Structure 1
Amino acid sequence: MSLTHINHRGEAHMVDVGDKSVTSRSATATGFITMQPNTLQLLVDGALPKGDVLATARIAGIQAAKRTSDLIPLCHPLPLTHVSIDMDIDMTKGGIHVMATCRTDGKTGVEMEALTAVSATCLTLFDMCKAVDRRMVIGDIRVNEKTGGKSGSWSREDTVAPGNAVPEEKEDAAGSSMSTALLCVRFFGEARDHARAGMLDINIEAVEPLTVAGLKACLIARGDFDPSRLQAGRLMVAVNQKMTSEDHLLSPGDEVAFFPPVTGG
């Protein structure tokens, strides 16, 4: 396999994309920043010294996506058509999940823009909170999916195939094992506007029955999602990128996506 950013003399250079076709492209990246519980509570209460932490971090992520070619030497400047930053406060894990999605109509992909957006968002969260917590850790920054271009669509595969997933076992303080198997829940289009975050990890033990309908009821009861506000009044669902119905049985590791019948770009 050859590296496209290295020429025949072994020198770094910008790839010539002049002959490529213009296509609609998108990329989604995620990251996580951990912090002390009291820091996270101050953030939730809006009591940190620098003010509105989440709003500032969101703006930083959007700005960084637009300036990616100024930060990464061999990236092409791209006319972004969309940048979204979603942040999900996770009191259980003690941190904030960050997800960035970038879109463009162009000749090269937007993976670096999505990664840069996540990185800048996490760095700004650190800066906004460092007055009370210097032990924060930023990590797990990665591309989750991309669409468009010659290589088409790509999505990060689950560590364990959904059909053969085995719940991860951890020991609690008493020494007994407990299941921590998760469902990855994602919202798209108008559904995302009425969800607490664009992406959530839900423990399967909280879902009863273990079906799409049961998951939906769980999300509503937790206050994570309000489907009643959808203008179309309808909600579509896909499990592991395949359309399905509300009586579909779920397995640990499944990715469940909710979206209205028509989603905008």
Structure 2
Amino acid sequence: MTHFTHLDSKGQAHMVDVSAKAVTARTARASASVTMQPHTLEMILAGGHAKGDVLATARIAGIQAAKRTPDLIPLCHPLMLSRVTVDLHPDPQLPGIRIEATCKLAGQTGVEMEALTAASVAALTLYDMCKAVDKTMLIGDIRVLQKQGGKSGDWLYEADTSAPASAASPVQGSQDAALQVRFFAELREQMQQDELQVAVASLQAADYPLTVAGLSDWLHQQFPALKSGRLMVAVNQQMAELSTALKSGDEVAFFPPVTGG
């Protein structure tokens, strides 16, 4: 029988002693979503919100929150995170924003709470920035999607197929229904991140073709900071054309043209 690890033999809460555990590579992914009125989503995507760039602010808030998790959750260990990413995917069908946070480290305990905290605070920040426009927003879908590493091994969330369709719908950015998009050189600065996962459903919902050109157009619409112009693209580490078709699981890398003098 599995017991609550944060309770001792007397039922008192305590921090688990992990000093005897081996240091291993650990990763956790978590999700959240913010459902809103269609006009609120349109305002966010158009960049017309009075408080500024909503998505960029929520992303930074989520990253900062992951690093402060032990200050918020009493029995969490202070961890030396090696990587935190927070990806925000507009979803017109929700309508709203789907959030996925990923945390990584080499350590003696897992990072599920850090990923959950990042996703949750990113969602709360979205609400805070948009509440003057839309007080009906709903925060939900907060869950761990995947964990890797540690004594208990790997774990992947699988939706209960007997549940209603809304509860079993795939999470934006899940690896079995997404493209892994990477950015190099100055594109990293423009995007304020070096990679993100783009759900295939997001392209389809916005009527963009599942091609390099369709992905590029979608990215430019969702991220105004990404400057227009000719970019070089590689799909699964092979140079590709704009017409190249994409499928779930593909890795798509964008980088500026190489110039010489």
Matches within 5 A, 1:1-265: 1-160=2-161, 184-187=177-180, 198-202=197-201, 216-217=210-211, 220-221=213-214, 223-224=217-218, 229-230=232-233, 233-235=234-236, 256-259=248-251
Unaligned stretches of 5+ in structure 1? 162-167, 169-179, 207-214, 237-245, 251-255
State the one-letter code of the partner of 1:111: E
CA contact (8 A) 1:197 1:224 kept: no
Compute the RMSD of aligned alpha carbons.
3.6
Which deviations, in whole Å up to 9, do the C-alpha atoms of 1:56-82 show, x marking residues without a partner?
111100110000000001000000000
Question: What letter matches 1:142 in structure 2?
Answer: R
Contact 1:188 1:257 survives alignment (8 Å): no
Shift of 1:97: 0.6
Shift of the alpha carbon at 1:199? 3.8
Superposition deviation, residue 34 in structure 1: 0.7
| Corresponding residue SS for 2:122 | helix
Q: Distance between the aligned counterparts of 1:89 and 1:144, measured in 2? A: 19
Say whether the 8 Å CA contact 1:29–1:144 is kept in structure 2: yes
Structure-1 separation of matches of 2:138 and 2:69: 23
- Partner of 2:177, secondary structure, is strand
Residue identity opposite 1:3 in structure 2 = F
Overall identity of the aligned pairs, in %: 45
Following superposition, the deviation at residue 221 of structure 1 comes to 2.9
Question: For residues 5 and 181 of structure 1, do their structure 2 counterparts lie closer, same or farther at Cα, with a shift above 3 Å needed?
Answer: closer
Structure 2 unmatched ranges of 5 or more: 221-230, 238-243, 254-261
SS in 2 for 1:118: helix
**Structure 2 counterpart SS, 1:96:** strand
Report SS of the residue matched to 1:198.
Answer: strand
Distance in 2 separating the partners of 1:69 and 1:13: 13
Structure 2 residue matching 1:257: 3-state secondary structure: coil
Say if 1:88 and 1:197, in contact at 8 Å, map to a contact too.
Answer: no
Deviation at 1:189, TM superposition (A): 5.4
Contact 1:26–1:109 (CA<8 Å) still a contact in 2? Answer: yes
Q: Distance in 2 between matches of 1:142 and 1:199?
A: 19
Q: CA 1:190–1:257 in structure 2 vs 1: closer, same or farther (change >3 Å)? A: farther
Query: What is the aligned residue count?
Result: 218
C-alpha change, 1:145 and 1:106, in structure 2 (3 Å) is same
The whole-number CA distance in structure 1 between the counterparts of 2:75 and 2:151 is: 20
Distance 1:40 1:158, change over 3 A: same
